[in-house]
Amino acid sequence: MYFDTDAGGVVHNIAYLRFIEIARTQLAISMGMSFAEIARTKIHPVVVRTEIDYKKPALLGDILSVNGHVGTHTGGRFHVEFEIVRPSDGRLLAACHQVLALVQMPKGRVVRLPEGFPESFTLEA
């Protein structure tokens, strides 16, 4: 989008975070995490760390692909990896690593990942 770029037509670095947020939401839904279930259980996936390596700039008019998957997971935390790629030339534009925790609200208490996570993901409270 035009609003994602600067005067030179280069995508702002903050726009990548929005792209990743959208992809992470779609990944969560595909894993069976629903907003209704989050509201019912009050267990929220919370980002506790984000690292992004910007490799090449995306430009106004580029079509981008954001791919993500769950990586390692232990206790109450899990890692998610994303790549933002420009399919027209196959270039990796950005790589992102995030650490998330499941947090029981309103107490703000970290809860353990469910047995079999991420394949059999369900929230229970």
Domain boundaries, the chain: 2-111
Q: Can you tell me the mean pLDDT for 67-71?
A: 91
pLDDT band at 35 (very low <50, low <70, confident <90, very high): confident
The correct answer on CATH 3.10.129.10 for the domain covering 2-111 is yes
Percent of the chain with pLDDT over 70: 94
Q: Cα separation of 88 and 75, whole Å?
A: 40
| pTM (two decimals) | 0.84
Percent of the chain with pLDDT over 90: 61
How confident is the prediction for the chain on average, in pLDDT?
Answer: 89
CB crowding 78-94: b at 16 or more within 10 Å, else e: bebebbbbbeeeeeebb
The 8-class DSSP code of residue 4 comes to: G
Q: Cα separation of 69 and 89, whole Å?
A: 22
Cα distances from 61 to residues 4, 10, 11, 52, 54, in angstroms, run 11, 10, 10, 22, 18
pLDDT band at 122 (very low <50, low <70, confident <90, very high): very low
Res. 13: pLDDT tops 60: yes
pLDDT band at 58 (very low <50, low <70, confident <90, very high): very high
pLDDT at 121: 54
